[in-house]
Amino acid sequence: MTAVLTEKGAPPVPADGSRKPPSVRRKRRERAFDEVPRWQIYLPLGLYLLFTLVPFYWMVLFSLRPAGSTSLVPWPMTFDHFEKVWNERSFSVFFQNSALIGVFTLICTTGVALAGGYALARFNFRIKQGFMLALLCSQFIPGALMLVPLFQIFKNLSLINSPLSVVIAETVFQLPLSIILISGFIKNVPYSLEEAAWVDGCSRLQAFRIVVLPMLRPGLIAVGSFAFVHSWNHFLFALMFLMDQDKQTIPVGLSTLIGADSVDFGALAAGGVISAVPVVIVFAFIQKWLITGFSAGAVKG
């Protein structure tokens, strides 16, 4: 399963290269798909869209309408909730912490996974099978069950209350999937290209940088964004390993708003919108690579 779609929606070329001249066959097939009546697509899709979008709308609505309003449209509009959450509830600090942890997790995960993925894709070595097996097995270890021993380890390393503990924990649990993903992407770069670069006098590292790396861009973007989004969203590690209020991350900040005695729904909604913005931007950016990334061998190894 190595089909990588270069254009969105284009059918992958069969591996044996037996693709027929497109014109006739393409047309007939598309007509066959077109037999699905339009309403059978739009009706269920519309219903599902409603289920997806109403909750988002509800949050935006609460964040923009004045406290006490029951209007179903955010008018008159107010930004009081955002101001309150950002300044009084120190979401500005949480935002910075989350961004910092997210970026470092991204860098560590992509760097380590790139090295490991390259080794898996390009070499035969003695412990390769064992390493693969360890990567796959670690997918089944629930991170939540590892909290207690991890807490002990970070305590021994005096890393409790340091963002480094969260970066390490996030990186470690992101690694296995990232390595498998990246090695899939590297396998899709023809080895002969690298060899050609060596013949031209490049060292292995140079060949990697000049030939392989540019072709890995979609893969690196997918893996990097997974790592960032995951660490941005993750709640437990920060909750357990960070003690001080001013070191906390956005999800923990949100959970304190949820846990408040009398929940301020406007502030909660505004906090939610703030926490969603970076992820939505990243998602809009990687959406078209997402499906490609999984096709390239995430699940199938």
Partner 1 sequence: MASAVAQDSPGAPPGAPKKPGSRRKGTGLSPRRLPYLLIAPAVLLMAGFIAYPMLSVFYYSLQNYNATKPWRNGFAGLDNFKRIFTDDPLFWDSLVFSGKWVFTEVTLQLALGLILALLVNQTFVGRAAARALVFSPWAVSGVLTTTIWLLLYNPSTGVGRYLADAGIGTYGSSVLSDTGTVFWAAVLAELWRGVPFFAILILADLQSIPGDLYEAASVDGASRFRQFFHITLPHLRDAIILSTLLRAVWEFNNVDLLLTLTEGGPAGVTTTLPLYVAVTGFEAHDFGYATALTTVAFGILLFCSILYLRLSKFGGDHK
Beta carbon nearer to partner 1, 242 or 269: 269
Beta carbon nearer to partner 1, 5 or 100: 5
CB 223 within 8 A of CB 159: no
Q: How far is the CB of 175 from partner 1 (least distance, A)?
A: 6
Which one of the spans 30-38, 79-87, 99-107, 215-223 is the region binding partner 1 (CB under 8 A)? 30-38
Q: How far is the CB of 96 from partner 1 (least distance, A)?
A: 18
Cα distance between residue 279 and residue 8, in whole Å: 22
One residue of 21, 199, 214, 244 binding partner 1 per CB under 8 A? 199
Q: Is 71 exposed, middle or buried (0-12, 13-18, 19+ CB in 10 A)?
A: exposed
Q: Does residue 204 interact with partner 1 by CB under 8 A? A: yes
Positions 98 through 157 that interact with partner 1 (CB under 8 A): 111-113, 115-116, 118-125, 127-128, 131, 134, 138-153
Q: How far is the CB of 80 from partner 1 (least distance, A)?
A: 16
Q: How far is the CB of 83 from partner 1 (least distance, A)?
A: 18
Q: Is 87 exposed, middle or buried (0-12, 13-18, 19+ CB in 10 A)?
A: exposed
Q: Does residue 235 interact with partner 1 by CB under 8 A? A: yes
Q: Does residue 44 interact with partner 1 by CB under 8 A? A: yes
**CB atoms near residue 139 (< 10 Å):** 10
Beta carbon nearer to partner 1, 76 or 190: 190
Q: Does residue 161 interact with partner 1 by CB under 8 A? A: no
CB 180 within 8 A of CB 297: yes
One residue of 175, 212, 216, 227 binding partner 1 per CB under 8 A? 175
Q: Does residue 210 interact with partner 1 by CB under 8 A? A: no
Cα distance between residue 87 and residue 94, in whole Å: 11
Q: Does residue 182 interact with partner 1 by CB under 8 A? A: no
Cα distance between residue 202 and residue 212, in whole Å: 12
One residue of 28, 88, 214, 261 binding partner 1 per CB under 8 A? 28
Q: How far is the CB of 121 from partner 1 (least distance, A)?
A: 6
Q: Does residue 51 interact with partner 1 by CB under 8 A? A: yes
CB 249 within 8 A of CB 242: yes
Task: List CB contacts of 285: < 8 A, sequence separation 6 or more.
Answer: 221, 225
234, amino acid identity: H
Cα distance between residue 61 and residue 63, in whole Å: 5
Cα distance between residue 230 and residue 233, in whole Å: 5
Q: What is the DSSP letter of 87?
A: I
Q: How far is the CB of 247 from partner 1 (least distance, A)?
A: 17
